[in-house]
Amino acid sequence: MKAKRTISICVAIVFALVILFPFYLVLINSAKESANIIIDPIGIPEKWMNLFSNIKKVINNEQYNYWAAFRSSIFITVASLFLLILFASMAAWRMCRSNKKWASVLLTIFVASMIVPFQSVMFPVLSVYRDISNFTGIRLLQSYTGIIFAYVGFGGPMAIFMLHGFVKKIPYELEEAAYIDGASSERIFFQIVLPLLRPIQVTIVILDGVWFWNDYLLPSLLLGQSGKIRTLPVAIASFIGSYVKQWDMILTAALMSMLPMIILFLVAQKQIVKGMVDGAVK
């Protein structure tokens, strides 16, 4: 038993080192100049104080425009998560409590849509967005509305699947008692069901929040590389030219972009594990 445990610990340590190695590269190279990164990319920096000077350069870079990109990332992430949690909770609760056939069919469709790769639908999404904008006059490309709508749509199936499994564990007697007391469906959902969903909602917020915050492909398609609205991952591309790549600025900006999500994960990691276990479909 001790030998097996020792082997398991060693394997876990190796996997942890492999996973953390890219973050190590970003951290140490953020404290170097671009030339030193090319010469010795895995060596320890001579002066860690270079990290603060690189951060200052990134913040003051007019082309990167850090604070505008940071505000856009915050708004898009928070708004998308709020709408996703609200609509997914409503849908999961309604499908779980319904005895009709359409509810199980709809849940199956949501689950099946989770296996569809985004790369296969990204260009049709652009075409549909253009058609909707031309028909309704509502601007979806290069706008907050379009990117938030896309994140809610693409994140909905997984959120509904996780919430549906959690709702099953909530005793229906609580809702029946409220119905007997004359409470409406809206009041039952917002005052009884929604607060009980908090553990799994925190899990969804962390998982999807990391995705929304770090995503590059969808914002680059819907917002564009040179538009007024840019998220942090898209703005980092401004340091990449056709012939010159400012690796010190790129890695420093990447480090600054990662830190908020790392802090959030460390603070809420217990809630993540609890929500994943409680929301599992048995």
**Could you give the CA distance from residue 78 to residue 212 in angstroms, rounded to a whole number?**
9
Q: Cβ(156)–Cβ(81) under 8 Å? A: no
Q: What is the pLDDT of residue 158?
A: 92
**Could you give the CA distance from residue 200 to residue 208 in angstroms, rounded to a whole number?**
12
Q: What is the pLDDT of residue 274?
A: 64
H helices of the chain, where?
2-29, 34-39, 50-60, 66-97, 101-113, 122-136, 144-167, 172-180, 185-188, 194-196, 198-214, 217-222, 232-236, 247-278
pLDDT digits (tens, 9 = 90+) for 193-241: 888 888 888 888 888 988 999 999 899 888 877 778 889 998 888 777 6
pLDDT digits (tens, 9 = 90+) for 193-203: 888 888 888 88
**Could you give the CA distance from residue 271 to residue 29 in angstroms, rounded to a whole number?**
33
| Confidence bin at 282 (pLDDT 50/70/90) | very low
Residue 23 carries which side chain, given as an amino acid letter?
F
Q: What is the pLDDT of residue 92?
A: 92
Q: What is the pLDDT of residue 90?
A: 93
More confident residue, 271 or 140: 140
More confident residue, 138 or 90: 90
Q: What is the pLDDT of residue 277?
A: 60
Q: What percent of the chain has pLDDT over 70?
A: 93
Average pLDDT, the chain: 85
